[in-house]
Amino acid sequence: MPFRLPGFRNLTVPACRRIGRGFWKEACGLADKWLTVGKIINTHGIRGELKVWPHTDFPEVRFKAGSRLMLQPPDGGEPFGVEVQDARPHKNVYLVKLKGFDNINQVEKYKGGSLVVPDDDRVPLAEGEYYIRDIVGCSVVTEDGRELGTITDVLQPAANDVWVVRLPAGRELLIPVIDDVVLDVDVARRTVKVRLLEGML
């Protein structure tokens, strides 16, 4: 799932989940070689359908008929290719039917597995939007060039998203993701420029 800063250009980010209004998620895993787009939590009925908990902000893309995914078995075996035959939302999960899997006996062993895509198969984002995973790990500098630390996590309190910055001394600095504070994001250089407001340090 992107993240949008009010009044600022839209920021969007997935490092491992959605943050705020405009950061996009597809969970990272398997040594970041793959993006997890869904977790297989159970079977549904007897005709081979799977209950999939979406780990993506783009389920309509990932689970549409004809979509090609990789299935990561729960035992950690090598992912193998599958094709979505049909899918539909059901409460807070998706019921996914994979082509060639037509009864419960064929799919029951995949409970606990994951549906994944290669890291380079990201859904394209609009200009000024980023995946969370592109933000986590960025260095944070002040507007006068002082290095503060590295973003290690993204929090989602009610008001706005917050970036957790690990300072050199081991302490953590919480950066509210608002346009008064976040001045620039340069994913290519892995840097974020911020303005420290009174009382933040």
pLDDT at 62 over 70: yes
- What pLDDT score does 8 carry? 30
Q: What is the mean pLDDT of residues 123-150?
A: 88
Query: Where does the pLDDT of residue 26 fall: very low under 50, low under 70, confident under 90, or very high at 90 and above?
Result: low
Buried residues in 175-200 as b, exposed as e (16+ CB within 10 A): bbbbeebbeebeeeeeebbbeeeeee
DSSP-derived 3-state class of residue 45: coil
pLDDT at 68 over 80: yes
Q: What is the CATH number of domain 1-15+125-201?
A: 2.30.30.240
- What pLDDT score does 4 carry? 37
- What pLDDT score does 14 carry? 37
Task: Outline which parts of the chain fall under CATH 2.30.30.240.
Answer: 1-15+125-201
Find out whether 21 and 12 touch, Cβ atoms under 8 Å. Answer: no
pLDDT at 155 over 70: yes
Query: Where does the pLDDT of residue 5 fall: very low under 50, low under 70, confident under 90, or very high at 90 and above?
Result: very low
Task: Outline which parts of the chain fall under CATH 2.40.30.60.
Answer: 27-118
Domain 27-118 indexed as CATH 2.40.30.60: yes
Q: Which two tokens stand for residue 73?
A: 């078995």
For residue 15, give the nearest of 196, 146, 190, 178 by alpha carbon. 190
Q: Which residue has the higher pLDDT, 196 or 161?
A: 196
Biggest alpha carbon–alpha carbon distance for the chain: 63
Q: Which residue has the higher pLDDT, 36 or 21?
A: 36
